[in-house]
Chains A and B, each alone.
Chain A
C-alpha cells in the first residue's frame, strides 16, 4: 500500500527553465511534508518542508505547494541548474510520529545544458 506516490520516475528539463516535481498521498493523517534530494552514494539531503497549515513555502529557488483537498504537493525549482540533477523524494509524516517518514519512490531529475 503506497501511501506516498511519485508517478513520474524521471523528468528532463533544460537549464534555466522551471522543474516541477509532483507527489500524491492517500493518508489524510499526514500533516507534515518534506522534499529530499539524493545524489548517488550519498544519503538524502533535506531541501524544503511544509506543514499542513500552509499551502506554500519558499526557500530561494525552491517552492513547495500543498493542495490538501487533492492530497497533492509539488516542488518547483526555478531556475533549474545542472547541479540540481539528482533523485528527488517526497516524504510525509503525521503528528505523533514525526520521525517516521513515509517516502515516495522518487523522481530522477536531469537538468540539461
Chain B
C-alpha cells in the first residue's frame, strides 16, 4: 500500500512569492495534518483537517492556509513568503481524529526561500 505522498519534494522560491504544497493521505485515511520542521527543531503543528473541515490550527500567521478535498488530499498554501518560511513541510494522515490515533508522515517538501 502506498504511504503518504507529498509533492513537490523540493522547491525554491523568492521572498514575497506564493507556494502550494500537496499531500495525498494513505488510502482510507480521512484526517490530514500539516507540520513545519525548521532545521534543528521538532515538527511544529500548522493545521489539521478531518472530513474536509478544519479541526485545528497552530500558532502560524494568516499567510498560511490549507484545505482538504473530497478525496481527502490536501493543499497547504503560503503567501508572501519570508526567509523564515524555509523549512521541511510534513504532511501526516490518520484514519480518524481521536486520542490514540497514530499519524503517519510523508517524506516532506523541502522549501527554500531566497
Contact = CB atoms under 8 A, between A and B. Distances in A.
Contacts, number: 75
A102 interface: yes
A99 B48 contact: yes
A99 B90 contact: no
Interface string B27-61: 00001010100001111110010100001101000
Q: How large is the interface on B (under 10, 10 to 19, 20 to 34, 35 or more residues)?
A: 20 to 34
20 contacts: A31-B99, A36-B105, A41-B107, A43-B105, A43-B106, A45-B105, A46-B102, A49-B100, A51-B100, A94-B99, A95-B99, A97-B56, A98-B97, A98-B101, A99-B33, A100-B45, A101-B45, A105-B40, A105-B41, A106-B42
Interface of A: 4, 31-32, 34, 36, 41-46, 49, 51, 89, 91, 93-106
